[in-house]
Structure 1
Amino acid sequence: MRIQELAPDVVMFVGDAVESVATAFIDGKRVLLVDALGSQDDAAELREVLCGQMGKTVQLVAATHFMSDHIAGMSLFPEALTLAHRHHRQAFLSQNRPVASLYREPDMVFDNMALRWGRHQLRFLYNPGKTMDHVSVDVPTADLVCAGDNIVGNIVYLSRADPALQRAAIGRIQQFGRGRVVGGHMGVFDAVVLDNALHYLSRVQHIVVDIRLRAAATQWAEQIAAIRLEDCIAPGIVPTAFEREWHGRNLEVIVTQSIFALDAALDARDRVA
């Protein structure tokens, strides 16, 4: 596990399982967790560091979105209150591989809210994108925003998502004007990561729509599978192995879930008109 101090009272944990992120906001002995990692082994190590080594008590666990790879640790803090958006079940059930054993019914559900935690005010703002329950956690006093899975490093992940919603969600995060962005995976980034994610999304859409309009339907799957990450990622960005892996997953779901099919149909209609 990678542990990084983002402020004297803000600590980020990046687990080994899918590089899932949890962010701890510390107020004296009390801890508020935003997300809870992607495996119970990672979550157990998180608990050992926070509670065993640092002597803290986790009192609240808030989910940016309710998918199994972000809520693994909820059950390890039975005395903590849990917080999620009111559409959390829809997001949980929309997963390709939901893990029922990790599901914990939230104690509190909401649309938008603000919560004072020590010197920080955390603004939980409904921001549907990758899932319909997605929440952005804006923390002006730490100059950061927790974006959840609306970005995956310098790219996005498209499975079960509406690309237009993702684009709008990233745009709303940009409007907060924070200098740092904590992703649902990989860690913390400078704010330019949002521009990079939008660039990737636009390039992938452009290339896929072009293939659907130009090539025979029998060739779509093969040509989409051959789309290079280097042709999609923002200029000057050297992709990580994790980004490369999830780009590959994107190419698979673009075919199996017919992502961008509507965009191609609308483009074809507009050309005829």
Structure 2
Amino acid sequence: MFEIDTILRNALHEDIGLGDITTLATVAPGTAGRAQLVAKESFVLAGMDVARRVFTLLDDTVAFEKLREDGSRIERGEVLAWLKGHAAMLLQGERVALNLLQRLSGIATHTARFVAALEGTGTAVVDTRKTTPGLRVLEKYAVRVGGGRNHRTSLYDGVLIKENHVVAAGGIAPAVARARQRAPHTLRVEVETRNLQEVEEAVAAGADIIMLDNMAPAELRQAVLLIDGRALTEASGGVTLDTVREIAETGVDFISVGALTHSSPAVDISMLFQ
């Protein structure tokens, strides 16, 4: 909660700054307000408690009645929540609350489409660190709401040896060996590979997870056969809704999709005063 409150306070400060000039100029002090959040399209809902927290940080007397919970499939025209409190506080919190609610719901909706495309394959879709700076904890939450899974959160909670690490370390084998020496035994070691030769090197080095980067389906199948269960497999690179099913059918365990967080379109939600 402390991390989320910091995110929300910064967002409110960015939007309100020294004061909401329009509200101060047009709304009499003490005016009571009642509003509803209304869906303008169909989507998977995520971020209701975040939106509520925006208003309670401004004024803890604001009443926020949730009518739908995160993970719900929303239809156009549905009322998501009722708000009641000082009109000025509702107006000042409106944009920050909607920005986050629309953004997180967009991620959950996009993720749910990938999850549906993978149904029955046994392959899980995971996110990446390609998130909006400052919003990672919220955006990764939205991925989970949409049915996806989280990859590592940050640089500190997972070992992922990528192309540049391999070059700097002098090869896959020495990179994995050094990672084993330094990383806690509780962390898995993942290695990014670009071809079958590198896959063989990663297997020989004892990688726990092998990322198969930008490989065509035929090469992915060969890689999965080559690894033969000795490591978990993750396909990555340029994955779309049109290609994700074919990739999953190669037998990989995970498919990482940066687009879940960097390219999900926000959904349309309005706050309307009554």
Regarding TM over 0.5, the answer is no
Per the normalisation by structure 1, the TM-score is 0.24
Q: Highest Rg: 1 or 2?
A: 2
**Between structures 1 and 2, the one with greater strand share:** 1
Per the normalisation by structure 2, the TM-score is 0.24
